[in-house]
Amino acid sequence: MLHTGDTAPNFLLPDADMAWVDSRSVYGQHHAVLFFYPRDNTPNCIIEAADFSDYESEFAKLGCKIFGVSRDDCYSHANFRDLHGLSVPLLSDEKGEVCSQFGVSQYRERDGHKKLCIIRSTFIVDKNGIVQHALYDVQPKGHAATVYQLVQRLNGKGKPHANR
């Protein structure tokens, strides 16, 4: 698992249009939000991806790029994006290598069988490629707004959180 202060892993993943996204072209120039989610077209994943899409222009004003990551393939991502009008790039990690690097792949038992699952998690990475927030096992509803507030603080905007 990654923690605040860790260097974010580099990655090279295709998006829904099969264009490659290289973290090295993001880190160093922009803050980045990477939200890892279990599966395209599932109710909670729709909520989370739609909320991040709704906030995308606000994040962009703060110099922040948003990426959704799951193990679904590019075709599934394109269908998910088009079906729900999503605007954030959805990256395909079919082999699960990036999910493992970020520590979001975990075995969970269901119906007596262990299965490798993606734990819904979000990472806020600053312009220097350092993890500023590692949020694991998040609830999708309202999550994008919470993440937006955290990114605002990276830029010295927004109110400090009383519990941090």
- All domains of the chain, ordered by start, with CATH? 12-154 (3.40.30.10)
pLDDT confidence bin for 163, thresholds 50/70/90: very low
In angstroms, the Cα distances linking 53 to 66, 78, 131, 164 are 9, 14, 22, 27
- Residue 99 designated active-site: no
In angstroms, the Cα distances linking 109 to 19, 74, 113, 134 are 35, 27, 5, 24
Q: Within 13 A of 54's CA, how many CA atoms are on the CB side?
A: 13
- Using a 10 angstrom Cβ sphere, with 0-12 exposed, 13-18 middle and 19 or more buried, the burial of residue 129 is middle
Q: Which of the residues 45, 64, 74, 99 is marked catalytic?
A: 45
Helix (H), strand (E) counts: the chain: 4, 9
Q: Considering the entire predicted model, what is its pTM?
A: 0.91
Q: Quote the pLDDT of residue 116.
A: 81
pLDDT tens for 56-102 read 999 999 999 999 999 999 999 999 999 999 999 999 999 999 999 99
| Residue of 161 and 133 predicted with greater confidence | 133
The share of the chain scoring above pLDDT 90, in percent, equals 85
